[in-house]
Structure 1
Amino acid sequence: MSEATSGFPLHDGKQASLLPEAAVPRASTSHVIADALRAAIVEGTLAPGAPLRQDAIARHFSVSAIPVREALRQLESEGWARVEMHKGATVAPLSAAEAREIYEIRSALESLAIGLAIPLHTAASLRECERLCKMAEQEPDSTLYAARNRAFHMSLYTPAGRPQLEELMATLHRRGERYLRLKLGLPNYKGESDQEHIALLDAVRRHDIAQAQSLVVSHLLGTGDLLYRFITARVEADAAQPKTRRPRTSRKPT
């Protein structure tokens, strides 16, 4: 093992380390920009298809083009943005197939997670789940509700102690947030979702693994199916709308 650090003077007692002193980790500029753009997409401030112009974003954040490019690459890898050669970046369109697939994958992962977590829940962890469930139920703001909804779901799975599984689920929650906002606009959705949360929490309290898994799968697949039908119907309705043509301007003879 000594050969592995030969010629790399970390600290030998005689010479000071050439590495900088450790500092408190800070979010990089590109991550800050990516977070801000992601939030704007989720909230609908940046609509599907809206251009993400590097120069405008750089001016807004008073940065160079480099962190902006890094932020856009990050958003593209997460599915929030679409980058095309010679056309630049745009907000990724809403996709019925993507919405359904996100919730299909979530149903599989969260069924696994809740099965692992239930035997490890304590009275304290269940009180936290109940608190978060009530906060989501009482939240009228759709943006805040998405965060409350995510916090409640994740509280059900935390006792499992599976950090990689939690990371995958958290990523899918973020990917699904702008689709969830669509569903929040549908009649009766929030009341139905709140009741499903209450039933799910009750099954967890009773340590009924089979029932909890059945409820979480039904809850998520139902959401995915509803979003698929809603987005598909909207796309079909938009396609059926007559397209307006721009009037031709007559050119004066020269």
Structure 2
Amino acid sequence: MIGDATTIVTRIADSIGERIISGALLPGVPLRQDHVAREFNSSHVPVREAFRQLEGQYLVMAQPRRGVRVAPLDAKSVKEIAEMRAALEVVALRNSAPKLTSADLARVELALIDGDNAETIEEFEKANRLFHQALVASCGMPRLLASLDGLQLANSRLVFAMARSAGWRPRSNQDHRLILQALRARNLDQACNLLARHIQTIERLAFLA
């Protein structure tokens, strides 16, 4: 029974999350518990839990007397997400890098190559997410990784929004290449500095589109 409830919560959270990330649900749109429960043929309990998961992923906001709404994508929110990601992902990389094996670095490079070869924004976004996850997967800090997964989803939402407003074309990600080169050279400080700068770049680009 618990397993069934968990499956329903995950299904609701994943479905609503995909709509928010893709832009099908716009910033500020209200999410009504009764409407969502009816759509997924569920009670309100799993819907509330799904909303809590989405809030932990920075995709929705619960506000007193206003209910749950899709989180904003304004300059203040983008800056907050970028600064949080830059700080936390660097901490994760500092703990992960000393443990990276040749096989781990090969996975990082594969994600880089997939990003370079991406022909659609969906393929690029998936490769980009896998690259960042592969960098820090060995850090041994599950709570930190869970926080980063949520921040990465918020970042993916921004990537799609930028692609909608400014278009997207296939291109090589030089920042990723430089980070990998620094890790292969065992230059951790350089890799961390490059990573922080790379993450904060999206904040500067977001509202130039």
TM, length-normalised to structure 2: 0.84
Cα distance between partner residues in 1 of 2:3 and 2:66: 39
Question: Is 1:191 matched with 2:171?
Answer: yes
Q: Note the residue ranges of structure 1 that are not aligned, 5 or more in a row.
A: 1-19, 232-254
The answer (yes or no) to whether the contact 1:48–1:91 under 8 Å persists in 2 is yes
Secondary structure of the residue aligned to 1:94 is: coil
CA RMSD in angstroms comes to 2.8
Where do 1:1-254 residues align within 5 Å? 27-76=6-55, 78-84=57-63, 88-185=67-164, 186=166, 191=171, 194-227=173-206, 229-230=207-208
24-33 or 94-103: which moved more? 24-33
Cα distance between partner residues in 2 of 1:89 and 1:101: 20
User: Which has more radius of gyration?
Assistant: 1
* Identity over aligned pairs, percent: 31
Cα 1:189/1:216, change in 2 over 3 Å: farther
Q: Which amino acid aligns with 2:88?
A: L
The answer (yes or no) to whether the contact 1:58–1:68 under 8 Å persists in 2 is yes
Cα distance between partner residues in 1 of 2:168 and 2:48: 41
Tell me which of the two structures has the higher relative contact order, counting C-alpha pairs closer than 8 angstroms and 6 or more residues apart.
Answer: 2
Q: Deviations over 1:114-160 (max 9, x none)?
A: 22322222211111111111112222332343232111111112233
How far off is 1:196 after superposition? 1.0
Higher-helix-fraction structure: 2
Give the total of aligned pairs. 208
Cα distance between partner residues in 1 of 2:176 and 2:208: 22
TM, length-normalised to structure 1: 0.71
